[in-house]
Copies of this chain bind each other. A is one copy, B any other.
Amino acid sequence: MDDLSHLQHRLERILSAKNNGSELRRTLTGANPADLAVVLVRMRPEERLALFRQLPASEAAALLQTLPDHAVADIVAGLPIDLAADLLEKMPGDDQADILARLTQSKEEEILRAMSPEDAAEVERLLSFPPDSAGGLMVTEFLAYPEDWTVDDVIEDLRSHADEYARYEVQYVYTIDPDGRLVGVLRLRDLLMAPRGTQIAALAIRPPLAVPTSATIQQLRQTFQQRPLFGLPVVDEQGRLLGVVRRTDVEQAASEETGRTFLRLVGILTGEELRTDPLNKRLLGRSVWLVTNLTLDLLAASVIAMYQDVLTAVISLAVFLPIISDMGGNAGMQSVAVTVRELAMGLIRTGDARFVIMRELPLGVAAGAVLAFFGAGVAYIWTGELGVGFVFATALLLNTIWSVLVGATLPLFLSRVGLDPALVSGPVLTTLTDIFGFFVALELARQVFVASA
């Protein structure tokens, strides 16, 4: 905290002094990147504007890129159009597209108009692909040469465009035919080790492994896991080279997707709330989810309302009903989480319900038995009534089995019908487990206490 507030105050002082570019840059360079990200995301918009005005665009862009995309989009949306366009142009093409895709249509168009026509055209092409596909993830900066070039031709080209290529992060050089179709690939080190005068066609691996623009993160990840490659060329339907998707971008996208899934599963609808986001945006996202849950809870609780006679007869059941509800949710969410993760890893498919049930059933029976044994003991000691212990234990056992089976298969079903399992599983699960658990407990109690009375 001390370092943080120190950095914050220093920046505030420098920014209020104006025209203090060199001290500002010294402070930024010297600061811990983690602290800088925190200070940046918590700054007031006018301070941030002052900061970006005093920094070279490339440094401001590098600073922004330490923040999550949606926070960058919020910041960029608040900047003057020209400054926003300048900053974006200093970022890699795929990041430009990610950020623009999060702005309003009109803002996006304004910024594109303020960018250089080539950059704008490039980004618009990237924007035409889904963000989590090879097309959306690829960078369009790559090196491709005709097959009949020699090693010397290529080195000469590299030398004469050194400044431009500096931001390309070149790993591979591609060979293409006159129509731009990908023919081969060679590594930089192959160029280095080859005798001068060699034609690059003789060094290239052909045909190279390439992916279509539609390849998913999961497919890309698995390909990279099997092969020690830094990037994969992306081609269109005619085999023309469009860009390169880098391993590191795929890993980052996968990491962000896992984070979003995790937040959605517990009710952050967009999957990306930060506390520095605007209050109304945060409130809307959370409330929609909470009201949905409340509605479903009321639906489930109506089962209890139908058994008021049983409750009046065995008032101690009121103590155990919230526990049955909570434990059903807990056991079910464990299973939901494992299924959601296995789906994301590609280790199960939506048609694998039978496999999942076979693996989950013994677990549900065993875990349910453990809970029933423990719960029956406590309930009996507490209430002194064997009947309550029996009802509570049986409800825990059956509801645990039901919950793990529903939890394990629900995400498969939701995926199949095109709903996001992370978002929908939780509320549907708890409703189904509440209704089942309340019904089992109250109906059993009626048999044991009311019917026999």
| Contact between B342 and A274, CB atoms less than 8 A apart | yes
A334: contacting residue among B228, B261, B286, CB under 8 A: B286
Does the CB pair B366–A283 fall under 8 Å? yes
Chain A 298-312 near chain B by CB (<8 Å), digits 1 or 0: 101110110010011
Contacts of A366 in B (CB 8 A): 279, 283, 287
Confirm or deny: A147 has a beta carbon within 8 angstroms of a beta carbon on chain B: no
Say which size band chain A's interface belongs to.
35 or more
**Shortest distance in angstroms between A318's beta carbon and chain B's nearest beta carbon?**
4
Q: Given contacts A155-B192, A222-B37, A378-B298, are A290 and B325 in contact (CB under 8 A)? A: no
Interface check A17, CB cutoff 8 A: no
Contact B349 A291 (CB under 8 A): no
Question: Of all chain B residues, which has the CB nearest A344?
Answer: B259
Q: A interface, by DSSP: helix, strand, loop or mixed?
A: helix
The answer to whether A1 and B349 touch (CB under 8 A), given A192-B158, A255-B254, A367-B287, is yes
- Is A453 on the interface with B (CB-CB < 8 A)? no
Minimum C-beta distance from A214 to chain B (A): 15
Check if B323 sits within 8 Å of A294, measured CB to CB. yes
| Stretch from A77-85, A109-117, A369-377 that touches the partner | A369-377
Chain B residues with CB under 8 A of A274: 338, 342, 347
A250 to chain B, nearest CB (A): 8
Which residues of the other chain, B, contact A192 by a CB distance below 8 angstroms?
Answer: 155, 158, 188, 191-192
A198 at interface, CB cutoff 8 A = no
Assess whether B341 is in contact with A263, with CB atoms less than 8 Å apart.
yes
Interface pair B294/A374, CB less than 8 Å apart: yes
A382–B305 CA distance with the chains assembled, in angstroms: 10
Please, which residues of chain B bring their CB within 8 A of the CB of A276?
A: 347, 359
The interface residues of chain B lying within 8 Å CB-to-CB of A193 are 155, 158-159, 162
Interface residue ranges of A221-244 to B (CB < 8 Å) = 222-223, 225-228, 230
CB neighbours (8 Å) of A223 from chain B are: 33
Question: Which residues of chain B are within 8 angstroms of A126 by Cβ–Cβ distance?
Answer: none
- Residue from the set A165, A251, A408 with the largest chain B CB neighbour count within 10 Å: A251
A34 CB to closest chain B CB (Å) equals: 5
Q: How many copies altogether?
A: 2
Which residues of B have CB within 8 Å of A261? 262
Answer yes or no: A140 CB below 8 A from chain B CBs: no
What residue of chain B has the Cβ atom nearest to residue A2's Cβ?
A: B351
Residue of B nearest to A320 (CB): B301
Q: Is A333's beta carbon under 8 Å from chain B? A: yes
Closest Cβ of chain B: how far from A192's Cβ, in Å?
A: 5
Of the 9-residue stretches A45-53, A63-71, A129-137, A175-183, which lies at the interface with chain B? A63-71
Establish whether residues B289 and A228, one from each chain, have CB atoms under 8 Å apart when the complex forms: no
Q: How far is the CA of A363 from the CA of B284 in the complex (A)?
A: 10
**Residue pair A322, B321 in contact (C-beta under 8 Å):** yes
Nearest-neighbor residue (CB-CB) of A285 within chain B: B334
Q: Judge whether A374 and B291 touch: CB under 8 Å.
A: yes
Residues of B within 8 A of A406 (CB): none
Flag if B258 contacts A347 (CB, 8 Å).
no
**A66-B226, A318-B318, A351-B1 given as contacts; is B341 within 8 A of A259 (CB)?**
yes
CA distance A305 to B319 in the complex (A): 6
Q: Which 4 A-B pairs have the closest CB atoms?
A: A251-B251, A255-B255, A262-B262, A318-B318
**With A34-B346, A305-B316 given, can you name 9 additional A-B contacts, CB distance below 8 Å?**
A33-B222, A37-B222, A41-B347, A247-B248, A265-B266, A267-B334, A273-B338, A297-B327, A322-B325
Which residues of A does B touch, CB under 8 Å?
1, 4, 33-34, 37-38, 41-42, 62-63, 65-66, 68, 155, 158-159, 162, 165, 167, 169-171, 188-189, 191-193, 218-219, 222-223, 225-228, 230, 247-248, 251-252, 254-255, 258-259, 261-263, 265-268, 273-276, 279, 282-283, 286-287, 289-291, 293-294, 297-298, 300-302, 304-305, 308, 311-312, 315-323, 325-327, 329-331, 333-334, 336-338, 341-342, 345-349, 351-352, 355-356, 359-360, 362-363, 366-367, 370-371, 374-375, 378, 382, 396, 400, 408, 430, 434, 438
